[in-house]
Amino acid sequence: MKKVVLLTVAVFFTIFSFAQDAAEKLNQANEALKAQDYATAFTLYDEAMNNIGDVQVDVSINYNIGFAAYKAENLEGAVKYFDKAIEAGTNVSKCHEYKALAYNKVKDYKNAVGCFKQAIETSEGDTKAMVYNAAIASYRGSLLDDAVALFSQSVENNYKGETALYYKAVVLNKQKKSDEYKATLEEGAVKFPGDSKIAPALAKIYVTEGNNLYKKGAAILGAANQKVNDGTLKTDDAAYTAEVEKAKVEFSAAVEILEKAKALDATNVNAQKLIDACTAVL
């Protein structure tokens, strides 16, 4: 009987020691967090929580531990404790956001976007920056439909509108949605005239369109001249004149759109070359 009592006392003493040790580590962890020694803070927090015993701690501590892990670039630890904080209803939106940023760091963009969306959904404050960051993560992770939707939302939010609209256009181009790509750039050129990315990109589209019109005109004129060379047509024939007029319609249309390209990007040498080629015939 005496031995059992002694054993029980020993067990209680051990539990008390663990609890006392955990409490001390929590204090040390708090000090390390204040000193921005995040790796040490997380290690101490984690050790304390694994041997917490009967020590009563506020559930909000899970957010602090997750934050320390995030700053120490410990993804596994950050996700573990942010999830605990979310489950306890502590700083829910911020926990999702930090999880997103943690996944972003390791280029796990699918999870990053998912967490950003949850952060946006649960936030009671301004979410404009999160929407934009989610759009960037979607773009980097080739989650193209998400990227278009989120960049569109950023434009509506008027948050980094020029950049958001440009990248929306880039994504549409990746999706081979040529008409939507062009329309988005044209929208950008109106909203943000002279933008260093939008204007040159739209100018390239116009140069391509102008070049295609030039080629059509040149093909019509070339075919007519070939008939003249073959002796089946003369340059003073009405049929030849009609073909030349058809070619000129294409050349005129080309000049019109090439002038738009030149206005957008004066450094585009192809625009001016094609204008010169068209006017030489006109």
Is residue 3 situated within a structural domain?
no
Q: Which of 189, 218, 248 is the last residue of a domain?
A: 189
Overall number of domains in the chain: 3
Residues 142 and 157 in one domain: yes
Q: Which of 162, 189, 216 is the last residue of a domain?
A: 189
Contacts of 189 (CB under 8 A, 6+ apart): 195, 198, 199, 202, 264
Residue 69 to residue 165: CA distance in whole angstroms? 35
Pick the closest to residue 106 from 137, 139, 85 (CA basis).
137
Range of the domain at 51: 16-90
Three-state DSSP class for 176? coil
Pick the closest to residue 101 from 128, 85, 119 (CA basis).
119
Residues 112 and 45 in one domain: no
Residues 203 and 277 in one domain: yes
Residues 214 and 263 in one domain: yes
Which DSSP letter does residue 52 get? -
Q: What is the CATH number of the domain that holds 70?
A: 1.25.40
pTM to 2 decimal places = 0.86
Q: Which of 170, 189, 208 is the last residue of a domain?
A: 189
Amino acid at 161: G
Residue 200 to residue 228: CA distance in whole angstroms? 41
Per-residue pLDDT 10s for the chain (282 aa) are 333 333 333 333 333 444 568 889 999 999 999 999 999 999 999 999 998 766 678 889 999 999 999 999 999 999 999 999 999 999 999 999 999 999 999 999 999 999 999 999 999 999 999 999 999 999 999 999 999 999 999 999 999 999 999 999 999 999 999 999 999 999 999 999 999 999 999 999 999 999 999 999 999 999 999 999 999 999 999 999 999 999 999 999 999 999 999 999 999 999 999 999 999 999
